A = this chain, B = another copy of it.
Amino acid sequence: MILSIDLNSETPIYSQICNQIIKAIAKGQLKEGDELPSVRSLASDVGVNLHTVNKAYNALKADGFLIVNRRKGVVVNNKEAYQSTEAYETALHSQLEILVIESIARGLESSKLDEMITRIIEETKGGLS
């Protein structure tokens, strides 16, 4: 479980941790029941405070991605728990809207946008990156 964190990014560290764990789940590198490193060990690995890792884990628990197993510690939840819901899709839509509309305003060809997304999907599902 190696995470690359950019301490100078505008994106909060805890969000970066969330995103990378979600990425690992999307790629299938983390599957149901897989154990995650303890908050303490991940915090020392990444070089941040344990509370920052804790916040990330809590956010992922709230989203259904993770769950605390009393024996194994923090583990990946079953898929049903974080399956796409209508509420999620609404939120996704409004976030996509902002990005897509700006790309249109800046004259980006929609083919290039499609290509971008296709590549992201391939790199994730294909496990190329």
| A12 at interface by CB-CB < 8 Å | yes
- CB-based nearest B residue for A52: B70
Task: Find chain B residues with CB under 8 A from A22 CB.
Answer: 101-102, 105
Partner of A108, one of B62, B67, B84, B105: B84
Task: Provide the bound-state CA to CA distance between A26 and B67, in Å.
Answer: 30
Identify 7 residue pairs between A and B in the complex whose beta-carbon atoms are under 8 Å apart, listed by A's number: A7-B72, A22-B101, A26-B101, A26-B105, A84-B108, A110-B121, A113-B117
Chain A contacts to B: CB under 8 angstroms: 7-10, 12-13, 19, 22-23, 25-26, 62, 65, 67-72, 79, 82-84, 88-89, 92-93, 95-108, 110, 112-114, 116-117, 120-121, 124-125
